[in-house]
Each structure stands twice: as C-alpha cells, then as structure tokens.
A and B are shown apart, each in its own frame.
Chain A
Amino acid sequence: MRSEKLKGHLDLLLMSVLSRGPGHGYEVITRLRDRSDGAFELPEGTVYPALHRLEEGGLLASGWHVVSGRRRRIYRLTAAGEAALAEQSKQWREFSGSVARVLGTPAAKPALRPGIRGLTA
C-alpha cells in the first residue's frame, strides 16, 4: 500500500498493534508488517512522530527499559488510548463497510426507454 495512504490511518494502526501488548518502535513496525502480511510498508521512521504525538495526546505512555541488552523506549496503550482505539475502530469498520458495499454492487444496466427498446429488438 502506498505510504501516503497508510499515513492517514497510522494512529489507528499503531494503537491497534499496541493493544496486543507494549512494544518499542522497532517491535511496533515489525508487528505492523507481519500482521499486514507485508502490505503495510512505509518508511520506518514515520512511526516515531506518530508515537510521540499519540503519547502527547495521552493515548500512549512510554518508559525506558533494557531489553535484549539495549535501552529501549517501550510504549503501551493508556485507558484513553483504548477508548480512542475502540471509537476509531468502530468508525473505520462503518466506513470500510460502506465503501465495500458500494464497490461490491455490480453496475446496473440503465433501463432503456420503450422507443429505444423497439429499435434494439
């Protein structure tokens, strides 16, 4: 998927990834890639401004821990983040369902007027 399209939904995706458990930046991007079967490829650096923005908004919290010998900033979803995730997920499902219904409807042939119908008979 084009990264520009993905960026519009990045906050939701990051919160969703972190709803499965806390993680550091590299872990988050790896989970995102794995769970999308590699469809979500974007410059990995883009997750950091998004993570920081979500933390500033109170939707994520972070702390520093040593994991596998490296000092890492681990992010976790806050209660406000869980509520925001639930709300945004609901909105996304409604929106994507509507889009799917529109795209899934086969184009109907326009009804021909009686005069024209005679010409085609």
Chain B
Amino acid sequence: MSGPIPDTPADPVEDYLDQLLITLSGSPRQVRHTLAEVEAHLRDAVDEGVAAGLTQSQAQMLAVARMGPVHEVTGRAPALARPSLALARRIALTGALVGGVGFLAIGAAGLVARVLLAVKGTAFLTAPWPSGSYTRADCSHWLAGDPGTHSCVTAMLADHAGDFLLQATAAGLLGLIALAAYLTLRQRWQDRATRTALPAGTAEALGAVLAALAALACVGQAVDTEMVQHGVGAGVPWSLGAAAAAAAVVFALGLWRALRRPATA
C-alpha cells in the first residue's frame, strides 16, 4: 500500500516552482510550458553550480536567486498592484470569512454570557447605569419587561442582559449567513486566479490579528472592571474576550494550514 509521496525537504527549486505554479496565469498549456522551461533552466543552473564546486544546496539557492522573483517570470506586477476581478473576489471571500467568524464569535460570546448569567447572575453580566442617568419612565419600561421584580436596578440589569443576549444571537446568525456565503462563493470561485490573487493565508492572518486585538481589549476591560467595580458588569467583556481569543486561535490554526498548503487556500 503506497502513501502520498513526501515533499522534498528544503529544496529552493521546488519551492520556487510551487510559487510559480500558483502565480502563473494563462491557459493550462501556457502554464505547463512556462513551468517546464523554467524548471529546465533552474536544473541547468544547479548542474552548472555543482560542476563549479558548489554544494547542491548552494547551487539551488544561487539558481533561484539568479532567476529573480517569481513575478519576473510571469512578467506581471504582484497581484496587489493591479486591481482585478480575481482580486475583488478574493477580497470579498476574505471579508466574508473574517466577518463571518467575527460575528459567529460574538454569537458564541452570547452562549458564554448565558452560562455566566446562570452561574453568577445579571449583576455580573452587565453593570447598572449610574443613578441619575435614567428616568422614571426608563424604570417603568424595565419593570414592565420584568414583572417578577419591584427593583428598578434589577429590572434594568435584566433588560440589559437580555439586550446583549439578543444582539449576540443576531450577530451569531449573521455570522452563519456570512460563512454560508463564504463557502458557497469559494465553491463557485475555484479558479486559480482568484485563489492566488492574495498571498496564501491573508484572510487567516487578518482574522488572527483582529481577533487577538479584540481579545486583548475585551480581557483588559474585564480585568479593569473586576478591579474597579469588583466584577459588576465584567461578564460581557469576559465572554467577548473568551470568544475573541477562541477566534484568534481558530484563525491562527487556519493560517498555519494555509501556509503549509498555499495552493489550496
């Protein structure tokens, strides 16, 4: 039983040809021909380097360096320099993926908040407004929504917690829709130009950075709330921070996979 053929380890020529393959545009025949003649060129250059006394590895690196960047062979500026339909599609896919996971993370934060609400109560989840910042009419509105209580503050906390959970649920649904759109469009736009219009892992890198920044901000706010307000209202930033951190991990794993297999990004 034969398994997959492993990649040749640390072969700059193979790496260069991989990069060229995913960058070349044109008909399949043009791509094959260019790839074949560049490979023959690189192998000739490696043979010449070895004959001149270089090691195989040194000769490979020299051959690739003398060939120049991949865009010299393709004769085109890097993709980012020329707006195109493929680039627009890739940006749309990136936006759908990053936005979808982001909104889904907010939805997940809602689930975390529900647990915190059940365990620690509404005062942990949301902070009450300062006294004097709300009116009697506000109180009536909150109390009407929570007939089980006679305390304006308790009703206010319940109302705010309910608002957060509702908004988080809506965000989660929006995230699912965005991810469904992402998967549908990715299935439809499978041409190589679209897949390679941005460097492999761009969406994942962007998502990881944004999610990590969001996690830092939310956790920072949660810690500050714990210290200054003794935990009152810390539940929302904790739940958002946890969801953002999880999203950052998901994106980081996706980035790692995309960089290992750039052609399937």
Which candidate, B70-78, B95-103, B238-246, is the interface stretch facing chain A? B70-78
Q: Which of A24, A42, A43 has the most B CB atoms < 10 Å from its CB?
A: A43
A9 to chain B, nearest CB (A): 16
Residue count of chain B within 8 Å CB distance of chain A: 19
Which candidate, B52-60, B61-69, B172-180, B225-233, is the interface stretch facing chain A? B61-69
* Bound CA span A23–B164, Å: 71
Q: Are A26 and B36 interface neighbours, CB within 8 A?
A: no
Q: Are A26 and B44 interface neighbours, CB within 8 A?
A: yes
Chain B positions within 8 Å of A53 at CB level: 75
B interface majority secondary structure: helix
Chain A positions within 8 Å of B67 at CB level: 43-45
Q: Are B68 and A73 interface neighbours, CB within 8 A?
A: no
Residue count of chain A within 8 Å CB distance of chain B: 18
Flag whether A22 is at the interface (Cβ < 8 A).
Answer: no
Task: Report B23-41 residues with CB < 8 Å from chain A CB.
Answer: 33-34, 36-38, 40-41
Q: Are B40 and A70 interface neighbours, CB within 8 A?
A: yes
Q: Are A48 and B75 interface neighbours, CB within 8 A?
A: yes
Chain B positions within 8 Å of A45 at CB level: 38, 67-70, 72-73
Task: Report A3-28 residues with CB < 8 Å from chain B CB.
Answer: 24-26
* Bound CA span A52–B37, Å: 11
Given contacts A45-B68, A45-B69, contact A26 B74 (CB under 8 A): no
Q: Are B43 and A70 interface neighbours, CB within 8 A?
A: yes
Contact of B36 among A46, A50, A52, A73 (CB under 8 A): A73
Q: Are A26 and B68 interface neighbours, CB within 8 A?
A: no
Known: A25-B38, A53-B75. 19 other contacts (CB 8 A): A25-B40, A26-B40, A29-B41, A43-B67, A44-B41, A44-B67, A44-B68, A45-B67, A46-B68, A48-B38, A48-B73, A48-B75, A49-B73, A50-B75, A52-B75, A70-B44, A71-B36, A73-B36, A73-B40
- Report 27 cross-chain contacts, Cβ distance below 8 Å, ordered by A residue: A24-B37, A24-B40, A24-B41, A25-B37, A25-B38, A26-B40, A42-B68, A43-B66, A43-B67, A43-B68, A43-B69, A43-B72, A44-B45, A44-B66, A44-B68, A45-B67, A45-B72, A45-B73, A46-B68, A48-B37, A49-B73, A49-B74, A52-B34, A53-B75, A70-B43, A72-B40, A73-B33
